[in-house]
Amino acid sequence: MGKKLKLDDILKCCENRFDHGSAADWKHSDFNELNREILRDTDVNISPSTLKRIFGKVSVDDDYIPQQATVDALKKYGEYVESQNTQQAQPVFEQPTTQNIKSNFKQKKILLPILAIAIVMIAFFAWRYWKPKDITGKINITRTEGLLPATVAFDLQLPYTEDSLFINFGDKSPVIYIKPGEKTAAHIYYIPGVFNVTLQTRQQTMATTSTYIKSDNWIAFGCHRQDDIPVHFYAIPAVKTGSDSLFNVTNNQLFQLGLDTTGPVLTRLSNYTPVNQTADDFIFETTFKNHIQEKGIFCRSTQFQISGSNSMIRFRWVNAGCSQRVLNVVSEQTFKGSTNDLSQFVLDLRQWNTVKLVNHNKQVTLYVNGKQIFTGSYQQSLGDIRGLFLEFEGTGIVKSCDLKSNDGKILYNF
């Protein structure tokens, strides 16, 4: 593999690990954050300007290759595993030369059987090499131990592939390499939710399953990024703290827990206690606001997600100037602020906002402060309700958060 092609594969791994979308859309702040993550994980400081050159944001010569130490740091951060491809040597049989018509007849009688044997051997080896191989794989859950944290064990049936195989556990933790012949795997989940688990190469999904990690009530946590879990994960008491039933998480609380609140922080309030209700018919309503810094240039967001056993609905709101970062999901449909005008999802997050989502027989209508901002339908059923979360980029306050069936049955109430 050429050095340039190998570097492209390494950069793709880094892009997947960083999880900020396509590198072509990254801004200066993204390269600053990538610089911090690489330094944290590898102790190698690759400046943002160098990262821009490497990822093609700054023009360089066609034959530009970074220093080897830089490449090694990118390989370590992106968890790049070089494929161990070997080529099987094929037997080569020299074809007998055409003899002169007047050649000895006895020589022809000897060469013809040898040629026939050679053809049969070539056909046999070609069949052995090219015969269909099992390219399907399977991954099945065999047991779940505990509540939170919860260990999930898997049985594996590895497919035939010359590429390296990995498991992505769906919770933004690093993918793990699966050695040839391995038959089992296990993973610890620290947060509740429905997670899609995939057996994959770097480019292709070979098998998939899903696991449901439950909670026994409302829980809350804070972290810098979800892929920091469990290294930097901080549980927060999910309790009502005021006379008007407020859930209030402040920077001071997070700082006392050990989070560096001068950088990016996520806080989440969630409930994944099992309920008996289809996710294609419900009413969700919440009232919230964000803690917003008075000075500085920044983007903040709040999003909620209703998780079903098969799929989900998720909507995000941002402060003014940041609609490019909106990413909404309605079952099989995805709406991206980078390719759609989603300016209706810009809110003054410093003020109290009330969001109401009505889902009736796969017809979704979304209201913000009494005004309808979205309506649409979907085809793929969400399945049964598994839980919900409300997440702040930064910190926030929740006055209420409720999910009920269309006939008025309370499923979750905070």
User: pLDDT digits over 123-166, tens only?
Assistant: 665 545 554 455 678 999 999 999 889 999 999 999 888 888 99
Inform me whether the pLDDT recorded for 70 exceeds 50: yes
Q: Which two tokens stand for residue 131?
A: 């015969």
Segment among 68-82, 145-159, 367-381 with least mean pLDDT: 68-82
Tell me the residue length of the chain. Answer: 414
- Three-state DSSP class for residue 2: coil
Residue-wise pLDDT for 109-127, tens only, equals 566 777 778 787 776 655 4
Inform me whether the pLDDT recorded for 95 exceeds 50: no
Give the pLDDT score at 234.
72
Q: Which two tokens stand for residue 301?
A: 């967001």
Q: Which two tokens stand for residue 27?
A: 């801004």
Q: Which two tokens stand for residue 12?
A: 């793709």
Domain 218-413 part of CATH 2.60.120.200:
yes
Cis omega before residue 149 (within 30°)? yes
Residue-wise pLDDT for 219-241, tens only, equals 988 887 766 665 666 777 787 77
* CATH 2.60.40.10 domain extents, the chain: 138-213
* CATH 2.60.120.200 domain extents, the chain: 218-413
pLDDT band at residue 96 under the 50/70/90 scheme: very low
Of 173, 274, 304, residue with least CA distance to 226? 173
Which CATH number applies to 138-213? Answer: 2.60.40.10
Residue-wise pLDDT for 312-332, tens only, equals 999 999 999 999 999 999 999
pLDDT band at residue 66 under the 50/70/90 scheme: confident
Q: How far apart are CA 196 and CA 272, in angstroms?
A: 16
Question: What average pLDDT score do residues 4-8 get?
Answer: 79
Q: How far apart are CA 141 and CA 144, in angstroms?
A: 8
Q: Which two tokens stand for residue 397?
A: 């306050």
pTM greater than the 0.75 cutoff: no
